[in-house]
Structure 1
Amino acid sequence: MELIPPHILLGAYTEGVFPMADDGELIWFSPLMRGVIPLDERFHIPKGLRRALRKAPFELRMDTAFLEVMKGCAERDKTWIDDVIIESYSELFNLGYAHSVECWDEDGLQGGLYGVRIGRAFFGESMFSRKTDASKIALVHLVNWLREEEAELLDTQWMTEHLKQFGGYEVSRDEYLRLLRHALRNEDKSKIV
């Protein structure tokens, strides 16, 4: 498979579609129900995580190890992140559309997440942890950054029990597309790459 051209990848996101790799084949998804994490007061930090945040076990960084984060997310028995996905999103990172949040300690990179930002929407792709709470702490940092940036939509693609603890919920495809259009209302799609 060849690299996914940036304009195709970004154009897909603006239409509510995203890719995943499966045994060398690229599959495009637009789920009937879409996971969303609220960026307002409904965002919830579980009590145990609040304690961990107070201890500040990690140094938080953004965009200093994008490729390492992607490879960390791919370190699992079954993954949809293959070389084509890694190279395609690395190109989006080079263009300023993809971002990583990283948790570091004296032993190195311990967790993080990555995703794509277009306008006031952030499309979360994947997260990983090598040490307790690293991906959760990265998510809290992402939400704080998105609030500072006045983002309106944090898309998680699908909803999981892990994400529900943060106030994550599902919306229908129609509702998701409405939220997406609103978050992209000031974006000129013809100027995206």
Structure 2
Amino acid sequence: MHYIFEDLFFPPVSEADEEGILAIGGDLNPERLKLAYKSGIFPWFNEGEPILWWSPDPRMVLFLDELIVSKSMRNILNRNQFKVTFNKNFKDVISNCQKIKREGQDGTWISNAMIDAYCKLNEEGIAKSVEVWQDDILVGGLYGIDLGDVFCGESMFSKVSNASKTAFIALVNYLREGNYKLLDCQVYNPHLESLGCREIDREEFMSILKS
């Protein structure tokens, strides 16, 4: 594992350990975060601990034409149960992702310092959000980093059934229209798999990211 200090530098992702941890230390300033995502790296750590930088192998991704939308979900979308907006309320989305209780997790990895850092990236037009509304109340959403042709998803939240799925599907449709190559979902979870995401080798992910 590499230790990062003030230099704006990351080692090659091939030097990550078996868990996917590449480096420790550094800070969350916008320039470092931009370099990280462009290099296939993301921060993930618990509050009060040193910053850990990850590049897992394999990598969970969605090829946009592989999105799975169930029949029941199609019915929900066709009923216009939700209103979807893009990048209208980034801070509320990331704050809800921080606060939402998740099965099997005692706390959150989204610290106040991370919220501040990603809000700065949002001001630069790099971090973006999708909001899902029901009766003018924010009930779901997601946020991530937009690299121009790859979108790096960070976190989702849902206060009512199917709100985060609605955000995810809306994002994929947006990315398709923009001819994006990939939606990066970082690490495996069964919910993402049910939506069509799958694991690929880090080497293939990096090849797509750099192409």
Distance 2:112 2:26 in 1: 10
Note the residue ranges of structure 1 that are not aligned, 5 or more in a row.
183-193
Please name the residue that 1:31 is paired with: 56
Please name the residue that 1:190 is paired with: none
Distance 2:135 2:26 in 1: 37
Tell me by how many angstroms 1:107 deviates.
5.4
TM-score under structure 2 normalisation?
0.82
Task: Give the counterpart of 1:7 among 26, 31, 44.
Answer: 31
For 1:1-193, list aligned pairs within 5 A: 4-25=28-49, 26-40=51-65, 42-75=66-99, 76=101, 77-106=106-135, 108-182=137-211
Tell me by how many angstroms 1:22 deviates.
0.9
Tell me by how many angstroms 1:165 deviates.
1.3
Specify which structure has the bigger relative contact order, considering alpha-carbon pairs within 8 angstroms and separated by 6 or more residues. 1
Matched-pair contact (CA < 8 Å) for 1:3–1:88: no
Please name the residue that 1:191 is paired with: none
Distance 1:106 1:78 in 2: 29
Distance 1:50 1:100 in 2: 22
Identical columns (%)? 40
Note the residue ranges of structure 2 that are not aligned, 5 or more in a row.
1-24
What count of residue pairs does the alignment treat as equivalent?
A: 181
Question: Secondary structure in 2 aligned to 1:87?
Answer: helix
Matched-pair contact (CA < 8 Å) for 2:60–2:199: yes
Matched-pair contact (CA < 8 Å) for 2:47–2:110: no
CA RMSD, 1 decimal: 1.5
Distance 1:20 1:4 in 2: 11
Matched-pair contact (CA < 8 Å) for 1:20–1:85: no
Matched-pair contact (CA < 8 Å) for 2:42–2:54: yes
Matched-pair contact (CA < 8 Å) for 1:21–1:85: no
> Runs in 1 of length 4+ with deviation above 2 angstroms?
none
Larger Rg: 2
Question: Secondary structure in 2 aligned to 1:79?
Answer: coil
Tell me by how many angstroms 1:110 deviates.
0.2
CA deviations on 1:114-146 (whole Å, 9 max, x unpaired) are: 000012010000000001100000000000100
